[in-house]
Amino acid sequence: MIGSRREFLAAVASSPLFGRFSAATDEPTQIIPLWPDGVPGGTIPAITEAVDDQIDTLGYRYRVGIHVTRPTLSWFAAAKPTGAAVLIIPGGGYSRVGIDREGYECARWMADMGIHAFVLRYRLPADRWAAGADVALQDAQRAMRLIRAGRSGGWTVDSQRVLVLGGSAGGHLAGSLCMRPNDRTYPMAESADHLSARPDGAILLYPVVTMAGATNGGSRRSLIGDNPSEAQMAAYSLDKIVPSTTPPMILFHSVHDRTVPVDQSLTLFCAVRAAQGAIDMHLFDEGSHGVGLRGDPAQPFADWPTIARKWQIRNGLV
């Protein structure tokens, strides 16, 4: 008899029918600095990078990056690569960035399916870099380009099968890659910087979408400050900047999400549809925020990886 959620997760972690959460602790194949010659955007703020190493309520490791000054890509190599790749952007309200949950665990799952997986540890706008609200997007654009460029002795990918997966504020950053494909946020320094930063598809989990209204105060404050103008809020609200070239997208959200209201996904869905983009949306009555693959298996929200996999196949992103 399995008596707890943790025992249930442990019992099914290796099952191909479950095929999502794993208690594996494999670390990345390689950690790659995004900016080996120094980050763009001016002087580094007076901060000290650290990792808050915790254990969550299920007893699993939960690391969080704080005051990131050396942004990186953590590469999980696919054992049997198909040529597809994914950039994974964990959340953290733009003041912290997840590592395990929404990050490494999702990367292991993707790598098991033959997809080279890269977890982004990005600089945080809350640290008030000179680049302002775009500092995280600088890192995300650079990461997408480095993935496409490949690495001698490392990976090669099909440049038309690179998707992005983001959760919460990481979903906002992933969405920004989709909505701002032509924005040059940093100086081009090498050949990789001239590659496209637009993903070929996007999986967004409970994403932050709009900077307007009373919701998402933490992410908005970190990104654009305490008293942003209407123009600033519009510029960083994904629903206000949808281009005609959005890649296929899929949204997952709980109706009773207490951190990022479901209206965020509803707003983005309507905006992309109005722009005649391709977007799927799956809403669930129950489900916690920020769980990544650690959702309660008794709740339908925990099935999002299976649905996402079918969507990837349909869109040729595997």
Per-residue model confidence as pLDDT tens digits over 187-203: 998 999 999 999 999 99
Residue 160 lies in a domain: yes
Question: Can you tell me the mean pLDDT for 281-310?
Answer: 94
In percent, the amount of the chain with pLDDT more than 70 equals 92
| Gap between the Cα atoms of 215 and 85, Å rounded | 33
pLDDT-derived band at 6 (thresholds 50, 70, 90) equals low
Residue 19 lies in a domain: no
Q: What is the pLDDT of residue 259?
A: 93
Residue 11 lies in a domain: no
306 has a pLDDT exceeding 90:
yes
pLDDT-derived band at 43 (thresholds 50, 70, 90) equals confident
Q: What is the pLDDT of residue 3?
A: 44
Residue 280 lies in a domain: yes
Residue 6 lies in a domain: no
pLDDT-derived band at 25 (thresholds 50, 70, 90) equals confident
- pTM of the model as a whole: 0.92
Q: Which domain holds residue 119?
A: 31-314
Question: Can you tell me the mean pLDDT for 90-103?
Answer: 96
**For 136-155, what is each residue's pLDDT tens digit?**
999 999 999 999 999 978 99
Residue 188 lies in a domain: yes
Round the average pLDDT of the chain to a whole number and report it. Answer: 91
**For 233-255, what is each residue's pLDDT tens digit?**
999 999 999 999 999 999 999 99
pLDDT-derived band at 51 (thresholds 50, 70, 90) equals very high
**For 207-232, what is each residue's pLDDT tens digit?**
999 998 766 679 999 999 999 999 99
Residue 81 lies in a domain: yes
Question: Can you tell me the mean pLDDT for 88-109?
Answer: 96
Residue 3 lies in a domain: no
18 has a pLDDT exceeding 70:
no
Q: Looking at the 3D structure of the chain, how many domains does it have?
A: 1
What is the domain-level CATH number for residue 44? 3.40.50.1820
